Structure 1
Amino acid sequence: MNTKTILSKFPKFMEDWKKYKKKFPGVREWYIASDYCLNKDSEKPTKVITFTLCPAVNLEWLQDQINRFLKSDVKNRKNFSDVEIQFIRDNGYFFSIVIIIKNVDLSLVDKLKQTLDSWIQQLEQGEKMEILQNA
């Protein structure tokens, strides 16, 4: 089985990922959240997919931390206080992968959405995940 992913072609990303994972040596379970801005009719010019990972911690504690430092949804904000920026940059719990989609047929995005459930099932079953290279 080929266990290399397309992300391994980005050395800076791999370096950042390894550095992040070292902070959580005993973690065996992870939360993965995703957010999409892909609407063809959207007022936003950039199409973006974001995946954010964090160690599986007490969700109430995590929500409390977020609520303490971020008083509203960041999507609806243009300005942030120094404290909010520091929390976003330095909290250390979150690792985000942002994919900007330029000049791509959005049917590819539809295919990606369809495979997401399969990826999540693989992760839940502890299988190694492969990113589609011929999507």
Structure 2
Amino acid sequence: MKQARYLFINLLILLAPIYGNWDLIINGKHCQGTVIDIKEIKQQLFYETYPQISYEVGNKTYKIEGPENADYPIGMKLELIYPEDEPSAAIIYSVSGFLSQWYTVLALVLLILWNAFYLSFLKGKPNNNSHIKMDKNKLLN
């Protein structure tokens, strides 16, 4: 029973990114965006690239930055989703788009902390010497 509760809590933590975006998934508005540029940022020894995505809602044009080092060529069309009351907060409508939100980072931190806590308080320690049976007289000789 304890193992079932442990696995259930792990499952709840892993579902946090979906729960965090549930309202957006259900009530969000869809639009199409186009990759218009690739922004390169030098980070010490290497470059990170971010696609710049432009989309239009109503008569207004918005721009967002795509995920780091995503392989989206200029001109590629992407489906976006945004909250109805805030069109500037669009994300890419894909698994990676939803997982790039802060809910995922929070879920991973909680998962690590929960597993560390649970595993540190397991009852009973394994007996590493249970398979070794020695006679005291053999030890004295």
| Fold in common (TM above 0.5) | no
TM-score (norm 1): 0.23
TM-score (norm 2): 0.22
Higher relative contact order (CA 8 A, sep 6+): 1
Structure holding more strand per residue: 2
